[in-house]
Structure 1
Amino acid sequence: MPLLDVRNLTIELETETGRVAVLEKVSLTMNAGEIHGLVGESGSGRSLLAKAIMGILDAKWHVIADRMMWDGKNLLEMTSKQRRYLMGCEMAMIFQDPSGSLDPVKTIGSQVIEAMVPNKNVPFWRRGKDTYLNAQKWLHKVGIKSPKSLMKCFPWELSEGECQKVMIAMAVANHPKLLIADEPTNSMELNTQAQIFRLLSQLNQLQNVSILLVSHELETLVQYCDHLTVLYSGQMMEAGPTAELVANPYHPYTRALLKNLPNYTGKMRHKSNLPTLQGSSPSVQHLPAGCRLGPRCPEAKRQCVKQPRVEHIKDRAFACHFPFNNEQEDDSAFT
């Protein structure tokens, strides 16, 4: 049984012109101990999907799904109190805007301690000191050089990178089963980014923590993730094991992302143009009909004005009328 199973999730947003589907029939399945990557351009709906899983919903959002199961429990039928319990113990999220997610009038130490669950195996008269020392330990693990002095600071006294490290410490301190990392190394220097990813890998390998890694940096996700899901403008383009998806992409958008990866072989001429898709992502008010990649897709044809159905080949999934590397596949392989 998968740890997380989301089927045909749609999020509709209320606007002045009516409801708009900002996320349309997206499915996601994660097993225990898996690192799953969500990749796509800004506005692709990655953060919306992550917040829907956590239950952090706005009053203007309307969430519709065939299934949202967490460890055998139906998330759609849970009360707000039950969802908050999951957020604090079994699920955790590293937000993209760390300084805006921290309380500016509380010290860092008080916020980290508030987010931690006291160890019940420690006598009650020692739990306060034990939690305080444990908070220092996690701040040190995420790269804070002077955790004791930093715990006395307020969020507005820290840089964006330091606030991000604090958010990561708060998220991983309770050893959650699922960690959702939305741009976890944003505003960090390269050495610290490597340290954070090593910490996430250790949590995954040593404590079997499942990680949903949200990023637009495909190169990083390819290095750390077991599976990838590619999103564009609220629609799922392709999903599957990372190695197979990189070696043999079916969707034109996936191929375009892979072509944009940095080339370190030195074969590219000086000042030559990088391969890119023409145009830009559509706005919420002007979403195209059918496949939303259609206006930018080099393989687009008249049939693309209709929404392609999601096809499955073994453990691969893609939504495209004209997929690549699929001419030789037998039609009986589709399910």
Structure 2
Amino acid sequence: MSAPLLEVDALSLRFHGAQGAVHVLDRVSLELAAGETLGLVGESGSGKSVTALALAGLLDAQADAAARRLRFQGLDLLDGSGRPARAAWDALRGRRIGFVFQSPRRALHPLRTIGDQLQQVLRLHRGLSARAARQAALEWIERVGLPEPERRLRAFAHQLSGGQCQRAMIALALAGEPELLIADEPTTGLDVITQARVLDLLAGLARERGLATLLITHDLALAAQRCDRIAVMHAGQVVETLPPRHLREGAAHPYTRQLLRATPQSANTLDALRGVDGRLPDLARTDLPACRFAERCPQAEARCRMQPPVAQRQGTAHRVHCWLPLAPAARPGAEHPVHPTPEAVPA
């Protein structure tokens, strides 16, 4: 079996400010294979976007990150102390790791044309001449489905619609021919039809190029439809990773079950729709529980607050970080969990 394209083991992250440290990520572990699409889902504020920024090496100077292992195609991205090695990321970002930002209009340079920005990527990361870069930029504008390529090449971001800005951002992210694309909420603010077109575009380009994709979204239904595997985040922790086919009836973590309960597809009427119990914890606290869902979980025990849960296998490609995972017989809507004894794997 080939090694994963991206390996993340026990990534933790703190931001230091005037009021102290904010413990944003806690022992996040992910793997992504070449050609695979992994969805990262969770509530707003669960740590999805900051995880994406960390994996692209885009954290600012106030970020204090550390990991047990962080590799891209076998390349170690950590220094000797377990901290991110910025020089290694600088060599990858744009060329081998592409990034689609959540707000493309703000991410695009307001004073430079789309063509200028595309040509800069092509010259910097692919070493093309000015003439070849302009031709390649036109080809990318056509490839992402922007009409009138010559005109779009001369356009500024404010002259494009939201969907057109997103397509331009995708062209910028892929023009360097990366092996990994990180797409952070790529359909935010777009209408339903444009959302589908943008996602179809991403999926088609990924298939064409054998591209690995990390798709950040709060939409479980979208993740289930578009992804090969789904990682569920809560308050900076990955609580469960599973195939989409296991999501509806096979989710084992209480938080995943509550997220499913909160989706529009789970209720026939608006009144029947239920949210996730409680609130996300304050990540600036010094007394955060080991499982950050413990204070929202109706079945939590003392050890949930005191001991980090060991990842447990629940079948092929399915892991849950929970001391009291729900068994199939207890799903959905069980009041009391069954305590299975699955094979334990490293956290």
Say yes or no: TM over 0.5.
yes
Alignment pair present for 1:285 and 2:289: no
Corresponding residue for residue 323 of structure 1: 325
Going from structure 1 to structure 2, the CA distance change for 1:319 and 1:157 (only over 3 Å counts) comes to: same
Conservation of the 8 A alpha-carbon contact between 1:168 and 1:184: no
Q: 1:109 aligns with which of 115, 118, 122?
A: 115
Conservation of the 8 A alpha-carbon contact between 1:23 and 1:45: yes
Residue 79 of structure 1 deviates from its aligned partner by 5.3
SS in 1 for 2:133: helix
Unpaired runs of at least 5, structure 1: none
Write the letter of the residue equivalent to 1:279.
G
SS in 2 for 1:89: coil
Conservation of the 8 A alpha-carbon contact between 1:179 and 1:210: yes
Listed one character per residue, the Cα deviations across residues 117-144 of structure 1 (whole Å, up to 9, x for unaligned) are 48989xx8xx434422322232233332
Residue 3 of structure 1 deviates from its aligned partner by 0.8
Going from structure 1 to structure 2, the CA distance change for 1:257 and 1:158 (only over 3 Å counts) comes to: same
Superposition pairs for residues 89-100 of structure 1, below 5 Å? Answer: 89-100=95-106
Q: 1:243 aligns with which of 245, 259, 279?
A: 245
Write the letter of the residue equivalent to 1:162.
Q
Q: In 1, distance between residues paired with 2:224 and 2:325?
A: 21
Corresponding residue for residue 334 of structure 1: 344
Listed one character per residue, the Cα deviations across residues 154-205 of structure 1 (whole Å, up to 9, x for unaligned) are 2233343332221111112232100000011122222222222222222232
Corresponding residue for residue 298 of structure 2: 298
Listed one character per residue, the Cα deviations across residues 97-118 of structure 1 (whole Å, up to 9, x for unaligned) are 2222222221121011111248
Conservation of the 8 A alpha-carbon contact between 1:95 and 1:183: yes
Write the letter of the residue equivalent to 2:308.
P
Q: Root-mean-square deviation (CA), in Å?
A: 2.5
- Runs of 4+ in structure 1 off by over 6 angstroms are 118-121
Q: In 2, distance between residues paired with 1:174 and 1:192?
A: 24
Going from structure 1 to structure 2, the CA distance change for 1:133 and 1:191 (only over 3 Å counts) comes to: farther
Residue 328 of structure 1 deviates from its aligned partner by 7.2
Going from structure 1 to structure 2, the CA distance change for 1:118 and 1:53 (only over 3 Å counts) comes to: closer
Corresponding residue for residue 262 of structure 1: 264
Which region of structure 1 is more displaced relative to structure 2, 111-120 or 70-79?
111-120
The TM-score with structure 1 as length reference comes to 0.88
Which region of structure 1 is more displaced relative to structure 2, 158-167 or 30-39?
158-167
Conservation of the 8 A alpha-carbon contact between 2:263 and 2:273: no
Corresponding residue for residue 153 of structure 1: 155
Going from structure 1 to structure 2, the CA distance change for 1:19 and 1:215 (only over 3 Å counts) comes to: same
Q: In 1, distance between residues paired with 2:139 and 2:195?
A: 19
Which region of structure 1 is more displaced relative to structure 2, 155-164 or 99-108?
155-164
Write the letter of the residue equivalent to 1:86.
L
Q: In 2, distance between residues paired with 1:193 and 1:213?
A: 13
Corresponding residue for residue 227 of structure 1: 229
Matched length: 327
Going from structure 1 to structure 2, the CA distance change for 1:309 and 1:120 (only over 3 Å counts) comes to: closer
Unpaired runs of at least 5, structure 2: 329-337
Q: In 2, distance between residues paired with 1:330 and 1:318?
A: 12
Identity of aligned residues (%): 35
SS in 2 for 1:181: strand
Q: 1:131 aligns with which of 126, 130, 133?
A: 133
SS in 1 for 2:38: strand
Alignment pair present for 1:88 and 2:94: yes
